[in-house]
Amino acid sequence: MATRAGESRGLGQAAKLVSERASSLVRLEIALAAAELKRKLASLGVGIGLLVGAGLFALYGLGFGFASAASGLANTVPMWAALLIVTGVLFLVAAILGLLGYSRVQKGVPPAPAQAIEEAKLTTEALKNGHH
């Protein structure tokens, strides 16, 4: 009987240890998911900000384009040529910001914690295989 009591105590401690480890694993999975979501949402926010900046520069570029056309019709060549150069630069900046913003938005979409989900699947699979 003494052996069984020792086995029972050992089994209880083993169950407690498994429970603690499983709880720790769940906490780590949640922390991983939160970190991954935070990173993706930050990338999404930066991408949206860059796209708004690109839109603003494109709007200014359009304004300078109209001013260049009007100045070209009303004034001499050097004035409108200078305005066209400014217009080209503004559209170039808008294009660069747009490409950078698009790239950042693509990194943040979809805002799901893919790495954490994959890790949880692997953990579940390991636990299932360990019991059989």
For 15-34, write each residue's pLDDT tens digit.
888 888 888 888 888 888 88
Express each pLDDT in 78-98 by its tens digit. 777 777 777 888 889 899 999
Report how far residue 124's alpha carbon sits from residue 117's, in angstroms, rounded to the nearest whole number: 11
Report how far residue 35's alpha carbon sits from residue 111's, in angstroms, rounded to the nearest whole number: 12
DSSP codes, 1-63: -HHHHHHHHHHHHHHHHHHHHHHHHHHHHHHHHHHHHHHHHHHHHHHHHHHHHHHHHHHHHHH
Mean pLDDT value across the chain: 81
Report how far residue 103's alpha carbon sits from residue 109's, in angstroms, rounded to the nearest whole number: 10
Report how far residue 100's alpha carbon sits from residue 96's, in angstroms, rounded to the nearest whole number: 6
Express each pLDDT in 40-69 by its tens digit. 888 888 999 999 999 999 999 888 887 876
Pick the more confident residue, 132 or 80.
80
Is the pTM above the cut of 0.95? no
* Cβ-Cβ contacts under 8 Å for 83 (sequence gap 6 or more): 64, 67, 68, 71, 72
Assess whether the previous peptide bond of 111 is cis (omega < 30° from 0): no
